[in-house]
Structure 1
Amino acid sequence: MIRKEKLLIVSHREIARDIFELTFQGDLAAEIKRPGQFVHVKVSDAAVPLLRRPVSIARADAAAGTITLIYRRGGEGTALLAARKQGERVDVIGPLGNGFPADDSLKGRKVLLAGGGIGVPPLYGLSLKLKALGAEPVHVLGFDTKSSVFYEKEFEAIGETFVSTVDGSTGTKGFVTDIIDLFRLNFDTLYACGPVQMLKALEMRFPEKEVYLSLEERMGCGIGACFACVCHVPGDPDGYRKVCSDGPVFKAGEVVLSC
């Protein structure tokens, strides 16, 4: 059930250059059922900025009543969010969207999780669930440079983890796809989140595999009412899907990756 709640900030810290880990506590945590969902955050108590910011959920712990978000400080909204302090309360709506499919059918299967930049966070909660289901998660995490890398150790604690950087300052030089090729990674199912160019490359490279892609997109309402985040359906010029309510996770080929 979607809730609107003033969540308590219990932890807020910078974990890489302009990357922040924000942990809330509140009843909303119990409503999060699927990794890959997101929340819509009111970054300031003031009237400006008007629109909320969508932030993917890195981890939800219903028992502890906590929700952990990881976001990048970039524009005005996320800069205001980065200034919020432990002990403050933040207006949050969620959980929103449809997350990654993960059930008992994945037990014993090798699952590849590919994340690019700020697309990495939702894969963390997914990997924890896959591990609990008895799957074998393997992680490929792509970043621009060494100072942008985060959660490498957290992923390593769950399963095999590879890191790439565009400039080669740490890990393997190149992109996520370079790691998959270099180490000849085999898998049954692929889950990915990151820049659309990365998602397109993975979709084209593995047409015979079961592939799920989580899209990053600017949003207005976050609940499917404003049509600000639509993607076209292949072969149907009038067909579309809403990233916020139909997604953000889609099976490869379900939408045109140009939104």
Structure 2
Amino acid sequence: MIKKETMLIKFVEQIALDTIEMVVENAYISKTAIPGQFLHVAVDGQTLRRPISIADINREKETITLLFKIVGSGTAKLATLKPGMSMDVLGPSGNGFQIVDKEPSTILLIGGGIGVPPLYYLGKTLAEKNKEIISILGFQTEKSVFYEEKFSSLGRTYIVTNDGSYGETGFVTDVIEKAGQFDRYYSCGPVPMLKAITAKLVDKPGMISLEERMGCGVGACMACVIPTDSNGGYKKICSDGPVFHAQEVSL
């Protein structure tokens, strides 16, 4: 259930180019959020809240790790917050990744840019269920790379940069063949990347998480709709998503 909560900021650090890691404390959200959900964060002086993906959770310490990229005035203001300060959020919001104990044994995670964070909490959760994890993470340049060590601790990990300054050169779709055999995939990132992945892996079961600017964040304003692949209908990214089955929506 989505609730309005106050979160105490415990830690803030820039971990890559324009990329901020923030650890916050909240008992309710740390105990109820699942991989793929997000928080809708209020920013002082801004009309609209900002959707921030949940990158990790420590249920014992009741902490939530958030990662976001500075892309405008709202996220720039969030980046100035310090430990000891608090944030007003709505959450946990949206529908997350579907995980079942009978999940196939080998899972491929494919993330691009700020679409990488929610896949880490997902990967940790799957690894705890003894699933084999393979990760492909795409970034624009070496300065943008983050969480390589964390994903590597889960399993085989490939880093791809557009300019070839680190790891493989090109796009995440260029590396999928190197990953070898896998049973299911999960992906999060910009729409062009997701479109290319779902086209390439059309015969594989998978789920995708969409990045989108949102208004209300609870499905009332219709500002973040996306067409489905059947009957000309629409889905709301904030409430029906942000996670969908790979062939459920039309990208």
Give your verdict on TM over 0.5. yes
2:131 to 125, 130, 135: 135
In structure 2, what residue type is equivalent to 1:208? D
- Residue 42 of structure 2 corresponds to which residue in structure 1? 42
Q: Secondary structure at the match of 1:58?
A: strand
- Residue 256 of structure 1 corresponds to which residue in structure 2? 250
Alpha-carbon spacing, 1:26–1:33, altered in 2? closer, same or farther (3 Å): closer
- Residue 193 of structure 1 corresponds to which residue in structure 2? 188
Contact 2:31 / 2:62 at 8 angstroms: preserved in 1?
no
Q: Deviations over 1:176-222 (max 9, x none)?
A: 011113x1522100000001111111111111111100000110011
- Residue 238 of structure 2 corresponds to which residue in structure 1? 244
- Residue 78 of structure 1 corresponds to which residue in structure 2? 75
Q: Secondary structure at the match of 1:236?
A: coil
- Residue 54 of structure 1 corresponds to which residue in structure 2? 51
In structure 2, what residue type is equivalent to 1:253? Q
1:18 pairs with 2:18: yes
1:140-155 matched pairs, under 5 angstroms: 140-155=136-151
In structure 2, what residue type is equivalent to 1:254? E
Gaps of 5+ in 2: none
Give me the whole-angstrom Cα distance separating, in 1, the residues matched to 2:120 and 2:179: 23
Count of aligned pairs between the two proteins: 251
Alpha-carbon spacing, 1:186–1:132, altered in 2? closer, same or farther (3 Å): same
Cα distance, 1:32 vs structure 2: 2.9
What RMSD, in angstroms, separates the aligned Cα atoms of the two structures? 1.1
Contact 2:137 / 2:159 at 8 angstroms: preserved in 1?
yes
Give me the whole-angstrom Cα distance separating, in 1, the residues matched to 2:47 and 2:212: 18
1:230 to 225, 228, 243: 225
1:199-238 matched pairs, under 5 angstroms: 199-237=194-232
Gaps of 5+ in 1: none
Cα distance, 1:130 vs structure 2: 0.4
Cα distance, 1:31 vs structure 2: 4.1
Alpha-carbon spacing, 1:184–1:26, altered in 2? closer, same or farther (3 Å): closer
Contact 2:134 / 2:179 at 8 angstroms: preserved in 1?
no
Contact 2:106 / 2:132 at 8 angstroms: preserved in 1?
yes
Q: Secondary structure at the match of 2:138?
A: strand
Question: What percent of counterpart residues are identical?
Answer: 49
